[in-house]
């Protein structure tokens, strides 16, 4: 999967999506993705295998199992991922779950 395919999957399922940050304020629920760093394989001063770690944050106000199932079963269906615990962001009064995977 590419970043463009990730965007298409999210939008096709009705999620507001941004890579990095939204240009305008959006209300939850929404998905935002970003790359923290890379974990490439290289030798002889060359990159032989490029890995881009992605964090996909699902931000919401009310828990919706159907939405989480769409993320896990449809958007991330063909890649290996890990998920964080649900975290309450008290300053924004929202909940957030993060998914971690590589592209």
Residue 22 CA to residue 34 CA, distance in Å, equals 12
Strands (E), the chain: 16-19, 30-35, 41-43, 46-49, 53-60, 81-83, 87-89, 94-102
pLDDT digits 0-9 by tens, 20-73: 999 999 999 999 999 978 778 888 899 888 888 999 999 999 999 999 999 999
Structure token digits, residue 103: 């592209």
Structure token digits, residue 82: 């890990």
Quote the pTM value.
Answer: 0.88
- For tokens 């199932």, name the residue: 69
């Amino acid at each position: 999967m590419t970043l463009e395919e990730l965007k298409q999957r999210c939008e096709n399922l009705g999620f507001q999506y941004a890579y990095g940050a939204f240009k305008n304020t959006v209300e939850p629920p929404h998905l935002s993705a970003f790359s923290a760093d890379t974990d490439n394989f290289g030798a002889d001063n060359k990159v032989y295998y490029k890995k881009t770690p992605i964090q996909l944050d699902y931000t919401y106000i009310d828990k919706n199992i159907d939405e989480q199932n769409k993320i896990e079963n449809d958007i991330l269906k063909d890649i290996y991922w890990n998920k964080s615990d649900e975290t309450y962001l008290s300053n924004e009064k929202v909940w957030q779950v993060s998914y971690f995977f590589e592209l």
